[in-house]
Amino acid sequence: MSKKLVIGMFGFGVVGQGLYDIIKTKDLNLEIKKFVIKNADKKRSLPAELFTTDANVILDDPEINTVVELIDDADAAFEITKRALSTGKNVVSANKKMIATHLEELVEIQHQHGTSLLYEGAVCGSIPIIRNLEEYYDNELLHSVSGIFNGSSNYILSKIFNEGQSYDVALKKAQDLGFAETDPTLDVGGFDPKFKLAIVASHAYGLYINPEEILNLGIDTLGDADIRYAREKDYKIKLIPLAKEIDNKQVVLYVLPKFIKKSNILFNVENEYNGVLVKAAFADEQFFLGKGAGGHPTGSAVLSDITALRYDYRYEYKKHLDAERVKYTKDYTITAYFRYEEEDILENINFINISERFYSENHKYVIGTINIQEIIDKRSIIHQQGNFIAEII
């Protein structure tokens, strides 16, 4: 029989409201006792007595056995999560930056205090990829995990390639629909999928990697010339994170825009949808598709974690038991398209070889092989004057 959960929830924004909408339609043996919110004056859809601005009301309440953390502030979320786990409360979180940055410490706290932190909603919205990596692939040799992890950037790219909208118009529409923030840098700059990639890599390969050590370049410098090149080749551009095991038991991680061919299963993942592609030694290739943005899709993943806690579910982090098997590396070569403005910029970026060059009055590009470490080292140069780089796969 499941135990009753008494919940204290931090945040009542898009995901919090979406979660509540789902919960009120179910009979799940749980009770939301209190919400902690930032703005006490904002009009809410629930009675005012359910809300407070004091975190201690939840954290010091012995009746509350489960904390649901759905706030934007990663630093504040970490303090809430750390304190809750350390005082015997289980936690469900959707804060991918907080989890990616502090995962190793949070795992240790769980082990020390016998509590559980679940975060399916932090990675790829409604797709249960963390649970699958933990359970279905727990004894599997994974060749790679990649896909579309950010619904906001994918929505923008879909509008550009399917409807001919400009980047600015597509971004504005994504913001109006709540898929992108007022400051969209986390999404279009590739930071959001990088945090998710760090979490995925931990469950796939047993690695704790500081997200700052992972290369991320986004679609924020995408230009008309890049879109035209993709259309001429019958490609689409997608923002793709990759975790891949290569020779000598090493794992490479990075987030880059990529030119996707029609034959690639990710080619037809559109709008706010996410798609996760897992390639494994025994299970071969499997694909997960689901909505990656919006209150209800993410809320459904959060609810899945909440209901799992009724049966004392916790991640076992089995891959970490064999973590010495693999190491993280940035020494990996890709084939890339690089569009630039000033000719002398190529003197400062070390392409291993260049197979194609294009010059016109308005722009120039090269296609060649380049090392991921070189892109990291020359990131500031690459971003100068709106230069754009993308992997060709």
Catalytic residue set: 196
- Coil, strand or helix: which one is 329? strand
CB atoms within 10 A of CB 261: 14
Q: What is the largest CA-CA distance in the chain?
A: 71
Backbone angles phi, psi at 122, to 5 degrees: -80, -15
Tally of CB atoms within 10 A around 370? 23
Q: CB-based contacts of 157: which residues, under 8 Å, 6+ apart? A: 170, 219, 236, 237, 238, 239
Query: In angstroms, rounded to a whole number, what is the distance separating the alpha carbons of residues 89 and 64?
Result: 7
How far is the C-alpha of 102 from the C-alpha of 386, rounded, in Å? 33
Q: Give the three-class secondary structure for 121.
A: helix
| 3-class DSSP assignment, residue 48 | helix
